[in-house]
């Protein structure tokens, strides 16, 4: 076999699925922004995941029959706790700062993953990666512009959101090698729901039927978005699909301006572009490294 690396045959489909994923994720932010502070952030996050469990019902039987070791249960619990905290901070940030800023700072997740992999998994940070991380941090400074405007609790919440999501994704890397991907996703929803329950109970405000309907739509769009993103990654390499996510920032900026009356901020676009550019570069470098690792030298294919 001349090539052991995975072949991607449908880059056009990958771009289409990533566009669809972006549409769904922007819809999620719009609905959460619309619901606003009417439902406390921990409660809104809990209801989003609780209502979303309906989409994973077919997976529960196989998961129970498969069984999980104590070690895997601990890892799943740790991931659920980290993800739950990230979700709470994200829902809170949505009520405090413009949609565009939430979207731009969300691009930080892979940067945290890269740093975490170096600190806790022994991965080496070569100079190009370090430069890319520095560029991403410059993007954050451009968005926040400390000293030129007030940094709100919403901005701090988004920094924590990216950190906790980064922890969640690192743990997912451990788990995906031992458990089926569908089970990883389903168990995340279950563990996050359980983790959010006591926090939501502490601030509980009885939601209206309309608010429940909106939060069910959040769950539906989020599930559809993750499904579309998975299809995109299966159809095309991340080096093709990753740049497409920049459109989410454009759509979020226009949505905030047209629907919620938020001011257009070119600095947010610039900062978000720098963050996404660095993430795309890191993704490309990782793809090239993996390709070199699994592609045999020319002479090896002659035997």
Distances, alpha carbon 288 to alpha carbons 108, 279, 283, in Å: 21, 14, 9
Query: Quick one: angle between helices 11-35 and 209-235, nearest 10?
Result: 160
pLDDT band at 161 (very low <50, low <70, confident <90, very high): very high
**Burial class (CB within 10 angstroms; exposed 0-12, middle 13-18, buried 19+) of 164:** buried
pTM of the shown model: 0.78
- Cα–Cα distances (Å) from 120 to 131, 197, 276, in that order, read 20, 30, 24
Cα separation, 185 vs 126, in Å, equals 32
Encode pLDDT of 181-209 as tens digits.
667 777 888 889 999 999 999 999 999 99
How far is Cα 74 from Cα 96, in angstroms, rounded to an integer?
33
Is the model's pLDDT at 46 over the cut of 70? yes
Mean pLDDT over 110-117 rounds to 78
- Are the beta carbons of 76 and 232 closer than 8 angstroms? no
DSSP H helices in the chain = 11-35, 41-52, 57-66, 70-94, 99-106, 109-120, 127-144, 153-176, 181-202, 209-235, 238-241, 246-258, 266-294
Read off the pLDDT of residues 241-281 as tens digits, 9 standing for 90 and up. Answer: 777 777 888 888 888 888 888 888 888 889 888 888 887 88
- Look up residue 208 and give its DSSP letter: P
């Amino acid at each position: 076999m001349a090539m052991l690396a995975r072949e991607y045959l449908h880059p056009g489909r990958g771009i289409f699925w990533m566009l669809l994923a972006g549409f769904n994720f922007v819809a999620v932010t719009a609905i959460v922004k619309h619901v606003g502070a009417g439902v406390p952030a921990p409660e809104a996050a809990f209801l989003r995941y609780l209502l979303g469990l309906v989409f994973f019902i077919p997976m529960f039987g196989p998961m129970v029959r498969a069984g999980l070791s104590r070690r895997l249960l601990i890892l799943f619990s740790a991931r659920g706790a980290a993800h739950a905290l990230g979700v709470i901070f994200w829902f809170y940030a949505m009520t405090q700062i413009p949609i565009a800023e939430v979207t731009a700072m969300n691009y930080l997740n892979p940067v945290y993953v890269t740093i975490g992999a170096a600190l806790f998994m022994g991965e080496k940070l070569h100079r190009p990666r370090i430069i890319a991380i520095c560029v991403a941090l410059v993007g954050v400074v451009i968005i926040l512009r400390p000293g030129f405007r007030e940094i709100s609790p919403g901005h701090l919440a988004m920094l924590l959101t990216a950190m906790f999501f980064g922890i969640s994704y690192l743990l997912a890397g451990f788990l995906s090698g031992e458990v089926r991907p569908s089970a990883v996703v389903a168990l995340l929803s279950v563990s996050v729901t359980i983790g959010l329950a006591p926090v939501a109970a502490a601030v509980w405000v009885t939601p209206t039927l309309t608010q429940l309907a909106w939060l069910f739509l959040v769950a539906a769009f989020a599930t559809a978005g993750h499904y579309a993103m998975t299809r995109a990654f299966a159809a095309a390499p991340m080096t093709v699909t990753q740049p497409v996510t920049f459109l989410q920032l454009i759509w979020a900026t226009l949505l905030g301006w047209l629907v919620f009356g938020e001011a257009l901020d070119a600095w947010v676009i610039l900062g978000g572009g720098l963050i996404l550019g660095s993430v795309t570069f890191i993704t490309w470098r990782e793809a090239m490294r993996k390709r070199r690792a699994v592609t045999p030298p020319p002479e090896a294919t002659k035997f």
